[in-house]
Amino acid sequence: MPEKVMPGPVEDARGIREAVCIHTRKIYDSCRDKDCIEDLRFYPKLQYVDVINRALSVKGGSARLLYVYVDVEPVSFNRGFYTVDMRFFYNVTLQAYLSCPAPVTVEGLCVFDKRVILFGSEGNAKIFSSELRTGEPDIQMMKRANAPIAVVEAVDPIVLDARLMECCCKRDCDCDLCEVPSFVNNCFDGELSSGDDNRRIYVTLGQFSIVRLERDSQLLVPVYDYCMPDKECSCGSGGGEDPCCIFRNIAFPTGEFFPPNTVRMPENYEETKSFCCCP
């Protein structure tokens, strides 16, 4: 009987029991990016427009990624390649300084557009499937265009800079705000400025992101055995275990009191995940 194989790198193929065909998404192409987005227009909430008009300066605060709109289109001059157009919506919080020493926190929206070209292969098949909906009959679902699926992974950006600018011009429409989804507007709990303010704020953000193109594929993979958990659930039944005994088996959370110097897992990480009860 071969030794139990855990998920991870395979040393040899002697323990393979069978080959199975699975249906999953295969990554055809991917890229990572570190964007320094300069002079990104800041659209404040209406309640902060007067504060910005009277502000002497602004400083960076924090930014939160709300949503990324993603669209995939084939490249006409290069078969198998696709453009991935992304629009990032941010909730940005800045510090506006007036005549008094204490700053005023202002909140608003920033929008960033990004495009990449990745290889996604070709496929002309129409895909049909049935999907069960509770209380409804099975509905045939058809993908009319067999295009790859774009997946965008991103973290909250870093606010690198913020500055005020005077503007005497007026605009009837601000193109950056024409396609803001309603649920993004609802995140601000108030109406946003249309962009026709006398003073404007431009923000510089640092954004890390990963973009990849995936397709539904059938892959042949080796199987070693059924994946059975090794950890017992003996302490999770809520029976008559001594709570003090359970508490004594938990390692002291040093990391909660002192920030770690590295990102490596502590040596006793597996022990702290699964502690046993006293007899």
Q: What is the pLDDT of residue 66?
A: 94
Q: What is the pLDDT of residue 277?
A: 44
Decide: 84 and 150 in contact? Cβ < 8 Å: yes
- Write down the pLDDT at residue 82: 93
The total of other beta-carbon atoms located within 10 Å of residue 35's CB is 15
Q: How many angstroms separate the CA atoms of 195 and 49, rounded?
A: 10
**Distance between CA atoms of residues 124 and 236, nearest Å:** 51
Q: 3-state class of 270 per DSSP? A: helix
pLDDT computed for residue 141 by the predictor: 57
Torsion of CA 66, 71, 75, 79, to 10 degrees: 110
Q: What's residue 272's pLDDT?
A: 46
Taking 70 as the pLDDT cut, the residues of the chain under it are 1-14, 129, 131-145, 168-178, 195-197, 228-243, 246-248, 250, 252-253, 255, 257-279
Q: How much is the pLDDT for 214? A: 92
Q: How far is CA 200 from the centre of its chain?
A: 29
Q: What is the model's pLDDT at position 65?
A: 95
> How far is Cα 2 from Cα 15, in angstroms, rounded to an integer?
6
**In the prediction, which pLDDT does 166 show?**
80
| Residues 203, 40 contacting (CB under 8 angstroms) | yes
Q: Are 84 and 70 in contact (CB under 8 A)?
A: yes
- Residue 209 contacts residue 153 (beta carbons within 8 Å): yes
Closest CA to 52 of 195, 189, 259, 251: 195
Q: Work out the widest C-alpha separation in the chain, in whole angstroms.
A: 80
H or E element, residue 51: helix 49-54
Q: Are 189 and 46 in contact (CB under 8 A)?
A: no
CA distance 140 to 129: 6
